[in-house]
Amino acid sequence: MVLCCGNVQGVAHVDDALTVFAGQGDSSRWYTVRSGDSLSKIAQDLYGDPNDHNRIFEANQPMLSDANRIYPGQVLRIPGA
């Protein structure tokens, strides 16, 4: 992010002092889509409820524009509980 901000014409300095808070990290994990997967199947396997598929869909926008179109090899962010 710092590199992107610093690579803008007219930007002379970027304050790169970051604060990291321990203990309250993102509980997301990553899942690589396999042949035969759907968001509902992934939600069933990981959350125990196929109706939680929208959580996965929303966490992966704008990469996913249609919940019915995922492809083997895609890496999806799976939000924690």
Q: pLDDT tens digit string along 12-68?
A: 777 777 665 555 556 899 999 999 999 999 999 999 999 999 999 999 999 999 999
- Given a contact cutoff of 8 angstroms between Cβ atoms, the answer to whether 31 and 46 are in contact is yes
The sign one gets for the Cα dihedral 36, 72, 30, 38 is negative
Contacts of 28 (CB under 8 A, 6+ apart): 59, 77, 78, 79, 80
The token duo for 26 is: 């993102």
pLDDT value at residue 71: 95
The token duo for 8 is: 């803008």
Question: Tell me, which fold does domain 2-78 have in CATH?
Answer: Membrane-bound Lytic Murein Transglycosylase D; Chain A (3.10.350)
pLDDT value at residue 39: 97
